[in-house]
Amino acid sequence: MLWPSTLIGAGAGFAVASIPGALLGALLGQALDRRLGLHSWAHLRERMGGRAIPRDDELLFILLGRLAKTDGRVVDGHIQQAREEMRRMDLSEPAQRRAVLAFNRGKKGRDRLRGYLRRLKAQPHAAEGLLRACWRMAWADGRATREERELIVLWGKWLGWPAIKVQALSNDYDPQKKPIAVSVDLYQDALRLLGVDANAETAHIKRAYRRLLSRHHPDKVAGAGANTLQVREATDKTQELHQAYTLIKERRDFR
């Protein structure tokens, strides 16, 4: 990994005071790199261009915005999916505002993402959660285009994932390969799945959904050391919960 300020400091120090100057310049440059969060020359160019280095949660929404804009037009399905990701992450209002700004930043497609993604290579669970969110966005309008697939595979490569492993995640969100569970087709079944009754208040239904979603979220299950089968089962359960909650929202007419 190339640390720009470190290299600049070493070069400048060497020009002024040979090897001792290079060592001192490198130490000062490294401190500046860490303070500014600079991991590559691309990061430095972005900072000089006025673009702030994104936090990990903001990086996710930059990627989602980039995917949503791939076909040239962001549709309602993309917006709804971005909101769903905010709910999954249980973002606070300030964090939601940052996520919206990051999503819009991603739509412009100006960020050099390789350096940002490579820093997550040592965090496999975070990397998988990010890739899964990307596939959910790609399928948000009912189809994952070739351009979207290529982008996600490329991002997976920068995260240290082989292409076949990245592509396999898509099957969990492909509506043609993942049939809608029968248990949530009926309103009563949806209520039972969430553990609420027909007279439950809206706030109670929302709390029940969020509690179950947190318990069964595949990222949380994976983080607890579960195997691949258990993670897939958690993914299935999460989708069923989401389908049930969507059905109840439509019947009860709340957001």
The pLDDT score that the predictor gives to residue 183 is 44
Higher pLDDT, 91 or 26: 91
Average pLDDT of the chain is: 80
What is the mean predicted confidence (pLDDT) over 10-16?
59
Q: Where are the alpha helices (DSSP H) in the chain?
A: 4-36, 41-48, 56-68, 76-89, 93-108, 114-118, 124-138, 146-158, 163-170, 187-194, 202-216, 218-223, 228-252
* Structure tokens belonging to residue 125: 């669970």
Q: What is the pTM of this model?
A: 0.56
Higher pLDDT, 248 or 1: 248
d(CA 203, CA 222): 29
Burial class (CB in 10 A: 0-12, 13-18, 19+), 71: middle
- Domain chopping of the chain, boundaries: 4-48, 56-170, 182-252
CATH topology of domain 182-252: Helix Hairpins (1.10.287)
pLDDT at 179 over 60: no
The pLDDT score that the predictor gives to residue 50 is 47
Phi, psi of 92 (to 5 degrees): -70, 170
The pLDDT-based confidence of 178 (bands split at 50, 70, 90) is: low
